[in-house]
Amino acid sequence: MFDLTGKKAIVTGAGSGLGKGMATGLHNAGAEVVIIDINENARTAVQELGKEGAAVHYLQANLMDRQDLERVFAEAVHVLGGRLDILINNAGMHDRRSCLDLPIEDWDKVIELNITAVFHLCKLAGGVMIPQGRGKIINMASMLSFIGGFNATAYAVSKGGVAQLTKSLSNEWAMKGIQVNAIAPGYMNTSMNSDLLQDDVRLPQITSRIPSGRWGTPQDLEGIAVFLASEESNYITGVVIPVDGGYLAR
């Protein structure tokens, strides 16, 4: 049901962590994938994924540089033969400081990458997908799209914005054959949360609220990414889907 053979995909921030997990899911389902990442080490992920099956490509870019973003998007679409079926906007950052300790310059960085770059890439993708009459855009929201978090003002604002952007674009593009949805990961065992995973106070507090009894992994996002990228989700659009082990329902 969820065969993506022949589909063309871009996944940002997919050199490691959740992005790599979702790129792996798309690749294993048959899609040709372009991984965009600022980290040169992302080449390793491409080499691992590209050993068999559909092609996997790596393009390096700084998505906080708007000209570089436009350059890499055009290059990615060219690599994919001028077509784009799937865009996963995964690249993001967190600055875990209190409001009073967060310089405005660092606020700007979080907002630029987490929401402005997402808007920019969605807009560019729409320019390719709308003439095709089909396409899947998957944005990365967060638990902090629903709750305020702690020492997370810029991140929470950006992820709240991702949820609203997803709904707004869905309203504009659903009639054009484009489904725009978002995934909201729960607390995940990735490098972004390394400080929480080493916090003797916060770690047990968070874990005790997760009914599944564990933190998530990149593999936990493979299935939902493939589902939202497939034809089986054609009547699902404008939603933010938590993948959180039951955290929000607690």
Q: Which two tokens stand for residue 215?
A: 């933190």
What are the counts of helices (DSSP H) followed by strands (DSSP E) for the chain? 9, 7
155 is annotated as an active-site residue? yes
Query: Which residue segments constitute the domains of the chain, with CATH numbers given?
Result: 8-236 (3.40.50.720)
Q: pTM of this prediction?
A: 0.95
**Strand, coil or helix: 180:** strand
Most distant pair of Cα atoms in the chain: their distance: 52
Q: Say which of 155, 187, 235, 247 is annotated catalytic.
A: 155
If we measure between CA atoms, which residue out of 174, 108, 185 comes closest to residue 141? 185
- Return d(Cα 225, Cα 235) in angstroms, integer: 15
In order along its 250 residues, the chain shows pLDDT tens digits of 799 999 999 999 999 999 999 999 999 999 999 999 999 888 888 888 888 888 999 999 999 999 999 999 999 999 999 999 999 999 999 998 999 999 999 999 999 999 999 999 999 999 999 999 999 999 999 999 999 988 999 999 999 999 999 999 999 999 999 999 999 999 998 877 777 777 778 788 888 999 999 999 999 999 999 999 999 999 999 999 999 999 999 8
CB of 92 closer than 8 Å to CB of 85: no
pLDDT of residue 86: 98
* Residues 138 and 87: beta-carbon distance below 8 Å: yes
- Residue 239 and residue 178 in contact, taking contact as beta carbons nearer than 8 Å: no
